[in-house]
Chain A
Amino acid sequence: MSSYLKLPKVGNWAWKVWMRNWDVFIKTYKVNFILPFLEPILYLIALGFGLGGFVGSVEGIPYAAFLAPGLISISVMNSAFFECTYGSYVRMYYQKIFDAMIATPLNLDEIIAGEIFWGATKSLINATFMLIVVIAFGLISFPISLIIIPFSFIAGFLFSALAICFTAISPNINALNYPVFLLITPMLLFSGTFFPLSTLPLPIRYASFATLPLVHVVEISRAIALGRWSDLLFLNLIWIIIVSFLLFVISINLMKRRLIV
């Protein structure tokens, strides 16, 4: 077990890996910029305004305004998680990018760290797009809600590190469907995204709080979006930082076990 907690050696070379992914992103910008705009609009119309008409207000605010930070949090999670599972798996296994990189002065720690930073960046980019849409709909307080942008990087880092753990242990790309359906989908539903956690029985609430990363991301995002601060947010942030750090260390060690033979 202790071998999975060995501290990685990450220098600033990790940014070269990040830059490579950024260059690809810019090269294919047309595809990359349209989808993040489109997705939140569809959700907001269908759920926020369609379903919201029946729901009325939640916790004293219109349903669409309640939902908006939840949608941003889901986007933060999905962008990072999919980038560092399917995206990283393709780069690692099919494109053999890591093999090419490791023949240069880059070490595996830096390659994986670069991937995780990139996943976090994808979260930041997509969260920014969603924020623009949500602000345009007038659903979120401005300019305080802009704090979501740097926060989405921190939250994205958490999901990227988690994703790399699964990428490292998946025997093939199809196996990545398991964490998506068994972890990501339930998390998307039971993290206070579409309805407040307070409607659930207490034991489930505690379990969610203890185990689901998205719960903490939603709590903080919603607080920022609505400008409702509470001391408990500090606990959420601490949870995110500690778990991020642990997952970061574990993910790199798992990748080493897989790739360094």
Chain B
Amino acid sequence: MSVVVSAENLTKKYGDLVAVNGINFSVKQGECFGLLGPNGAGKTTTIKMIQCVSPKTSGKLEVLGMDVDLYSKEIKKFLGVVPQENNLDPDFTVYENLMIYSRYFSISKNKAKERVERLLKFMQLEEKRDVMIERLSGGMKRRLIIARALLNEPKILILDEPTVGLDPQTRHLIWDKIKSLKKEGVTIILTTHYMEEAAKLCDRLVIMDYGRILVEGKPDNLVKERIGNSILEVEANSEILLCLQRMRLEFEVVGDMIHIFTDRPYDLMFTLMNQCRLNRTAVRSATLEDVFLRLTGRVLRE
């Protein structure tokens, strides 16, 4: 599989603030690559450098084998971008938005018409074609932005938090569409705060914090390596804490609960029941969210 984005020692500084601090990663053709991290971790900055709209401070960044500093126009021809913030053109209808945007890519009018029809259908917006942007719901706007990002039949689709604030129906629709695009061979770069979304869609992801990459890997593997299969949650009290320390188990106190990381949760539960006094307990599978919180901490960032 060939590499479509490669970053070496990529750095971005805003004055004294180092937003991206010498990161290395590569995105392979046809995969869905996730960038995860708390707010301010450097995800959007990284994406903006890939998009050629924010110049890098140092390091190397190539998209489709081209240097971002030298070939921004050529690179941008092959990118589809779904930005974090909606920026549809409020002076136009749904249909006009797509037609006018296709002009920015120098797509001929006939070709554009054909693609717009197809994309309206693909994103289930046909009935809204003559509606002005301000009359669309949040979900429709998001679907339209995705349709717009596909006008130039991009080789790389960049999705910056594509499903923020959407209802579950729309979110599932968007996930389905992303999956079908992936099947067609489109490379996808995704940032998200929804771990479920990342786990569902990403073949590979990195978790970033303070401008650095903390880990990289397949979602399942990351969970297995960092947490294990399961988590046993027990209500915290001093007796159990002593008990766990004595047994030298790996655990984390979260509010009034203790999370114990284990591959054999039920065996452990019986052992604990025999040895300490247990109140509320629950067994659940470990998720990407556990990995994320473990790596980036539970403290609020802003």
Residues of A bordering B, CB below 8 Å: 13, 16, 19-20, 23-24, 27, 95-97, 99-107, 260-261
B83 in contact with A103 (CB, 8 Å)? yes
List 24 A–B pairs whose Cβ atoms lie within 8 Å, in order of A's numbering: A13-B106, A16-B103, A19-B103, A20-B100, A23-B92, A23-B100, A24-B91, A24-B92, A27-B92, A95-B89, A96-B85, A96-B86, A99-B83, A99-B85, A99-B87, A100-B83, A100-B88, A103-B83, A104-B76, A104-B104, A104-B152, A105-B74, A105-B106, A260-B54
A261: which of B14, B77, B91 is its contact (CB, 8 Å)?
B14
Closest to A111 in B: B104
B105 in contact with A105 (CB, 8 Å)? yes
A106 in contact with B89 (CB, 8 Å)? no
B77 in contact with A103 (CB, 8 Å)? no
Given known contacts A23-B100, A105-B106, A260-B54, is B89 in contact with A100 (CB within 8 Å)? yes
Given contacts A105-B106, A107-B73, 11 further A-B contacts (CB under 8 A): A16-B104, A24-B92, A27-B92, A99-B87, A100-B89, A102-B53, A103-B51, A103-B83, A104-B104, A105-B74, A105-B77
A104 in contact with B89 (CB, 8 Å)? no
Residues of B bordering A, CB below 8 Å: 14, 51, 53-55, 72-74, 76-77, 79, 81, 83, 85-92, 96, 100-101, 103-106, 152
A100 in contact with B14 (CB, 8 Å)? no
The 6 closest A-B pairs by CB, nearest first: A96-B87, A104-B104, A103-B81, A100-B87, A24-B91, A105-B76
Q: Find chain A residues with CB under 8 A from B14 CB.
A: 261
Q: How far apart are the CA atoms of A16 and B104 in the complex, in Å?
A: 6
B89: which of A13, A97, A105, A107 is its contact (CB, 8 Å)?
A97
Closest to B91 in A: A24
Which secondary structure dominates where chain B touches chain A?
loop
Given known contacts A100-B101, A105-B73, is B53 in contact with A20 (CB within 8 Å)? no
Q: How far apart are the CA atoms of A102 and B83 in the complex, in Å?
A: 11
A104: which of B85, B88, B92, B105 is its contact (CB, 8 Å)?
B105
Given known contacts A19-B103, A105-B76, is B53 in contact with A260 (CB within 8 Å)? yes
Closest to B90 in A: A95
Given known contacts A19-B103, A101-B104, A260-B55, is B91 in contact with A27 (CB within 8 Å)? yes
Q: Find chain B residues with CB under 8 A from A105 CB.
A: 73-74, 76-77, 104-106
Q: How far apart are the CA atoms of A18 and B55 in the complex, in Å?
A: 26
**Interface-centre pick from A20, A27, A97, A105 (highest chain B CB count, 10 A):** A105
Q: Find chain B residues with CB under 8 A from A106 CB.
A: 104
Q: How far apart are the CA atoms of A99 and B103 in the complex, in Å?
A: 16
Q: How far apart are the CA atoms of A235 and B91 in the complex, in Å?
A: 42
A261 in contact with B76 (CB, 8 Å)? no
Q: Find chain B residues with CB under 8 A from A100 CB.
A: 83, 87-89, 101
Q: How far apart are the CA atoms of A19 and B54 in the complex, in Å?
A: 26
Q: Find chain A residues with CB under 8 A from B100 CB.
A: 19-20, 23
Q: How far apart are the CA atoms of A104 and B83 in the complex, in Å?
A: 12
Given known contacts A23-B100, A96-B87, A104-B101, is B54 in contact with A261 (CB within 8 Å)? yes
Closest to B149 in A: A103
Q: How far apart are the CA atoms of A104 and B103 in the complex, in Å?
A: 10
